[in-house]
Homo-oligomer: A and B are copies of this chain.
Amino acid sequence: MTAKMNINVLVQKIISAIQAGKLMDEQRKLPSEPVLMDYYQVTRYTLRSALQQLNTMGYIYQVHGVGTFVRQQQTNESMALEHNGGLSDEADRVGRSLTTDKATEKIIPASEAEFIPETVNFDKDEMLIDVTRFRSLDGDPYVMEHSYYLQSVIEEIPQSALFGSLFHYFEEQKSTQIGFIDQLIMSEPLPKTASDFMKLPIGSPSLVVQDETYLNTGQLLAFSKQYYNFKTAKLFVVKKVHSKSKR
């Protein structure tokens, strides 16, 4: 039996092959597309879909008329913003460990939330699950995460999920598949609760990611604000530039 081939599997295969050093030559160049198609027994569409994902992830880049190249691995000091999974998955990917030191959970009406999304209007009586988590990376205070989950969408959050990966908890349930997350990145002075946790002076800088998580149905699931330790937190993004054809 041959394993079922699809894009996600192919992406993983190529990553493994690259990491094992089996695929690229001394100039970090991969075999040409026809060769890879033959090797993995897929069509060009499937291959290029996989390469596109690897491109987005910052693993490779392609040069028209020349070839496909493996990028130098970016530093593991930073966490990729566009990883595919939760923050703890991304920590794993770069060989680090994210743990939840403390978590609190309570239920409040939307009118009592400290912040709400600017773009989404919902009933002020909507009940929210108010979750705050204090999380460490390799044992060092890393981020305070303050989230509100719509109780109408996710009835309850078990304690076990609070201390593990909330992302996985949602993904495991068929009714709460995450589709996309809007992220607003800014800098603010660190609030007191977070500065206590991080043992930083009040008013220290803080990297803040405010996000809104939507299901694959477009339904808002949650919104949150994450305060990162400015001394250690770095987020990584690769931006691709598509040159215009109309010049």
Please report A residues at the B interface, Cβ cutoff 8 Å: 6, 8-9, 53, 58, 61, 63-64, 66, 69, 72-75, 77-78, 81-82, 84-85, 118-120, 171, 177-189, 204-208, 214, 216-218, 228, 230, 233-246
Contact = CB atoms under 8 A, between A and B. Distances in A.
Nearest to A227: B187
Contacts of A206: 187, 205
B64 A216 contact: yes
Contact of A180 (B118, B188, B238): B238
A188 B228 CA distance: 12
| Max count, chain B CB within 10 A of own CB: residue among A53, A235, A240, A241 | A241
Contacts of A181: 238-239, 241
26 contacts: A9-B245, A58-B182, A61-B179, A61-B214, A63-B216, A63-B217, A63-B218, A66-B217, A69-B218, A73-B119, A82-B237, A82-B240, A171-B243, A177-B243, A182-B237, A183-B236, A184-B234, A185-B234, A186-B207, A187-B206, A187-B207, A187-B228, A187-B230, A205-B230, A216-B241, A216-B243
Contacts of A182: 58, 74, 236-239
B185 A72 contact: no
A70 B73 CA distance: 36
A30 to B, nearest CB: 13
Contacts of A204: 205
A72 B212 CA distance: 13
A186 B235 contact: yes
B75 A246 contact: no
Nearest to A66: B217
Nearest to A239: B181
Contact of A81 (B188, B228, B239): B239
Contacts of A75: 118-119
Given A9-B246, A63-B216, A69-B218, A185 B205 contact: no
A208 B208 CA distance: 12
